[in-house]
Amino acid sequence: MQVQLTNRQQHILWATVRHYIATAEPVGSKALIEEFDLGVSSATIRNVMGVLEKSGLLYQPHTSAGRIPSDSGYRTYVDQLITPSFRDGTRTEALTKEVEAALQQLRPWEDWSLEALLQGAAQILATLSGCITLITMPQPTTAQLRHLQLVQIEPGTVMLIVVTDGYETHSKVMDLFTASSETKPDPEVIDHELQIVSNFLNSHLRGRSLLELAKLDWSELDQEFQRYGEFLKNSIAELTRRTLAPTATQIMVRGVGEVLRQPEFSQLQQVQTIIHLLEEEQEQLWRLICEEPETKEIGKSRVTIRIGAENPLEPIRGCTLISSTYRRGSVPVGSVGVLGPTRLDYESAIAVVAAAADYLSEAFS
């Protein structure tokens, strides 16, 4: 649930988060007075910080300390305060250009192995973000139609057989007529029509992806073949869902050493659980970062941000995971993400992930 804050409360929360991100030290009113021009007294800042603590956005790690952001505080910061009126837009834009320039220095991807391209991109992201970088290997290329055949296996029951460019065969059986159909043509007529339709579709559709076929307007078939339109639409759609169902792939991991030197990872047990997840439980992590993004839109990419307890995987509930998908055309084929402490430079991390996703999408398209 979004917390409604006054302008003053927003500015003081923003300043508190920025100071804590930079120092990793609990924040007091004196530090905010010295670093930010908030235009209010130290007593007013203390009062506002008290209100923010009661709202669950800040907390004190111990009684005599200053305050630090909670997961909810970071969420409010991301959702409400990363806006042109608060963030340094010039700095974010400069970082985006730096990421783009660094990625462009990679050798032309057409002349380089796919794995080498992703490894290079992962290393650049880890260096620029200071986080663990995660890039999934892409899903297999969207299957393309090599051959299609419609076969009547018994009166009124038709099998659609599709052979893809990888010589994989897929089939789907459906009843051509509903129980309420008043007239059912002679099976020999159906056989003849099925062959004509098969020939027509092969000549016009060979080489197209199954995803394209699923989106075709089958109502454009000649009038005498309209009875096959709904059958083809449903059959192709199901075959496409089947062939495009994502399967876990290898995750490129870079930057572990750098991020584990952060004070949040000083406990050996916590480090071990994260390392175990990265090395032994990659499929769980893959499923998490390959979910369709839904949280924040930056440029052409949509970026998902999971903060602390929002992460369903226990080893990273003290971390922030920022991810986005990269695409081949309109089809998601893989994901890129960064994993770090919740005390993260969110503007920079979001910009890095979005720029990398856009670069990889351009390369794969």
Q: Are 341 and 68 in contact (CB under 8 A)?
A: no
Residue type, 229: G
Most trustworthy range by pLDDT among 21-30, 82-91, 173-182: 21-30
Domain with CATH 3.30.390.60 in the chain: 144-244
Tell me the CATH class for 7-85. Answer: mainly alpha
Domain with CATH 3.30.450.40 in the chain: 87-139+250-364
pLDDT in tens, 31-51: 999 999 888 999 999 999 999
The number of residues making up the chain comes to 365
CA angle 333, 147, 234 (to 5 degrees): 65
In Å, how far are 134, 151, 240 from 204, measured between CA atoms?
41, 19, 18
- Is pLDDT at 222 greater than 70 in this prediction? no
Report which of 62, 77, 76 is spatially closest to residue 25, judged by C-alpha positions: 62
Rounded distance, CA 275 to CA 202, Å?
50
* The pLDDT value given to residue 86: 54
Domain with CATH 1.10.10.10 in the chain: 7-85
User: What's the whole-number mean pLDDT along residues 106-118?
Assistant: 68
Q: Report the percentage of the chain scoring pLDDT > 70.
A: 79
Rounded distance, CA 61 to CA 44, Å?
21
Q: Which residue has the higher pLDDT, 341 or 206?
A: 341
Q: Which residue has the higher pLDDT, 214 or 199?
A: 199
Whether this model's pTM surpasses 0.75: no
* The pLDDT value given to residue 240: 65
* The pLDDT value given to residue 170: 81
* The pLDDT value given to residue 67: 94
pLDDT in tens, 322-341: 999 998 777 788 899 999 99
pLDDT in tens, 124-140: 999 888 899 999 988 76
The answer regarding whether domain 144-244 maps to CATH 3.30.470.20 reads no
User: What's the whole-number mean pLDDT along residues 152-158?
Assistant: 86
CATH architecture of 87-139+250-364: 2-Layer Sandwich (3.30)
Average pLDDT over all residues of the chain: 82
- Is pLDDT at 160 greater than 60 in this prediction? yes
